[in-house]
Amino acid sequence: MFRKTLFFLITVLLFSLVVIAIGEVATRLFLPKPVIEPPENTALKDDELGWKMTPNYSFKGTLKDRDGAAYEDSISYDENGFKAFGDTASARPKILFLGDSYTASRQVSNNKSFFKIIGDSLGAEIFAYGHPGYGTLQEYMIFDKWVGKIKPDVVVWQVCSNDFIDNYAGLEMVCGYGVGERRPYLNEQGEIYYKRPLTLFQKIQEHIWFFKWLDSRWDNLLAKVKKEDIKVGEYYIANDKRDFEPFDKSVIITEKIVKKIKERLPKNTKLTAFTSDMYQPQRSEFRRIFESNGFTFLEKPAQAVQKAEYQKMVVKAADGYHWNMKGHELVANSLLPELKKLLEN
């Protein structure tokens, strides 16, 4: 009996291995790995930051907006990854912009970016660094490195609802959105550690594409049977708010990061933050966190973009999230009154 059972198990195992091998070959042949096309290929792996803007990256070409209209895009970043880096020795006001993909603004040319418009309007020296997928800690690390060299009069911190996902690995692993790359995180003791936010099965899928294909087909099947989308972390954030434990932990960690920002901010430097989207409860949590640290928090840029969309204006790029040239104009004009006030005071 034992030998028959053993023979059966070995047969099943060998058959499974053959099926997986055939499936893997077929998957790699017919579903080749996607190629990241410019200007989406800006990331360069970095031991400290996880990844950073590729030094001296540039792109010139044609992109499309959300309605499919073509426009010319010409972007460039300096040797340190800044899209704008003014004169640190200038007597003019200096403004430092930090953020993620919205500040990296790969969808618009350098001279059309919202911070360039602001600099021209205020007669200020502008410094701007951002990269897609960045969390608040990565942005803080850029801030920590450069604030003493730039000595800005004002720091403008752009935030996004996804930042909470980026700030805590445990939340990213249960969400639909995720970068999935090694990055720095802050633990609850305020210490920096590094982790790649992938489950064991997700790590296996990177090597066995057939499993990834099966997993996606299984999710599609479940969605059809249940007649509803598969619920991921974003669903529970929106509905359960801080009762959803991974989101609650991310909020606590984000509070600690913003406290670090406050402690590192030079005495005579002012800081304001603004949101690039209107998702709740993330927007309210960010407002509470920044205001509790004595900083202003602006929703007007995101509101202006949202209002324009309601009026059927095309203010976003083809991905439907990031701003096109018109969107950047709206954001700049929404930020200008607050920045004028901060510089005057």
Encode pLDDT of 209-262 as tens digits: 777 777 777 677 666 777 677 799 999 999 999 999 999 999 999 999 999 999
The tally of domains found in the chain comes to 2
Q: Could you please report the per-residue DSSP string of 296-308?
A: EEE-HHHHHHHHH
* Other CB atoms within 10 Å distance of the CB of residue 130: 25
| Cα–Cα distance for residue pair 167/183, rounded to 1 Å | 10
| Phi and psi, residue 171, nearest 5° | -80, -40
Mean pLDDT of the chain: 94
Residue 15 pLDDT greater than 90, yes or no = no
Read off the pLDDT of residues 146-184 as tens digits, 9 standing for 90 and up.
999 999 999 999 999 999 999 999 999 999 999 999 999
Same domain, 20 and 166: no
pLDDT attached to residue 218: 66
pLDDT attached to residue 115: 99
pLDDT attached to residue 253: 98
| Residues with Cβ within 8 Å of residue 312, at least 6 apart in sequence | none
Answer with the residue of higher pLDDT: 308 or 10. 308
Same domain, 301 and 201: yes
User: Has residue 37 been placed in a domain?
Assistant: no
What are residue 298's DSSP bridge partners?
274
pLDDT attached to residue 92: 98
pLDDT attached to residue 195: 98
User: Has residue 38 been placed in a domain?
Assistant: no
Burial of 110: CB neighbours in 10 Å, binned 0-12, 13-18, 19+ = middle
Same domain, 3 and 71: no
Same domain, 246 and 303: yes
Same domain, 282 and 175: yes
Same domain, 196 and 282: yes
| Cα–Cα distance for residue pair 306/310, rounded to 1 Å | 6
Answer with the residue of higher pLDDT: 2 or 5. 5
| Cα–Cα distance for residue pair 294/21, rounded to 1 Å | 58
User: Has residue 318 been placed in a domain?
Assistant: yes
Segments in the chain forming alpha helices (H): 2-30, 101-104, 114-122, 136-150, 163-167, 169-172, 200-207, 209-226, 233-240, 245-264, 282-292, 300-310, 325-344
User: Has residue 331 been placed in a domain?
Assistant: yes
| Cα–Cα distance for residue pair 288/274, rounded to 1 Å | 12
Mean pLDDT of 109-125: 99
What band does 58 get if pLDDT is binned at 50, 70 and 90? Answer: very high
Read off the pLDDT of residues 27-39 as tens digits, 9 standing for 90 and up.
777 777 778 999 9
Q: Locate tokens 């080749």: which residue?
A: 32
What band does 290 get if pLDDT is binned at 50, 70 and 90? Answer: very high
| Residues with Cβ within 8 Å of residue 323, at least 6 apart in sequence | 102, 105, 107, 108, 114, 305, 315, 316, 317, 330, 331
User: Has residue 66 been placed in a domain?
Assistant: yes
* Other CB atoms within 10 Å distance of the CB of residue 343: 16
pLDDT attached to residue 31: 77
pLDDT attached to residue 223: 67
Residue 8 pLDDT greater than 90, yes or no = no
Same domain, 131 and 256: yes
Q: Give the domain extent around 130.
A: 43-344
